[in-house]
Amino acid sequence: MEVLVILVPLALSLGLAGLAAFLWSLKSGQYDDLDGAAWRAVADDDPPQEAQAKR
């Protein structure tokens, strides 16, 4: 039972740290453009072969 004196404040502080990190990420704009990030992950970085041949 004495270990609860350590574990309860530790759990509360870790929970508050996680909440603070989540709120910071919201404030800094991490979740503003979710669709754009998804399309950038699958987008082709190389231009098509036709565009390279015209150069």
Does 50 fall in a domain?
Answer: no
Mean pLDDT of 32-52: 76
At 38 the pLDDT is 79
Average pLDDT over the chain, rounded to an integer = 86
Predicted local distance difference test score (pLDDT) of residue 53: 60
Q: How many domains does the chain have?
A: 1
Position 24 scores a pLDDT of 97
Would you state the pLDDT for residue 16?
98
- Residue 9 belongs to domain spanning: 1-44
Report the alpha-carbon distance of residue 12 to residue 19 in Å, rounded: 10
pLDDT, residue 52, reads: 58
11 in any annotated domain: yes
Tell me how many degrees the CA angle 31-33-34 measures, rounded to the nearest 5: 75
Residue 16 lies in a domain: yes
| Each residue's pLDDT tens digit, 8-29 | 999 999 999 999 999 999 999 9
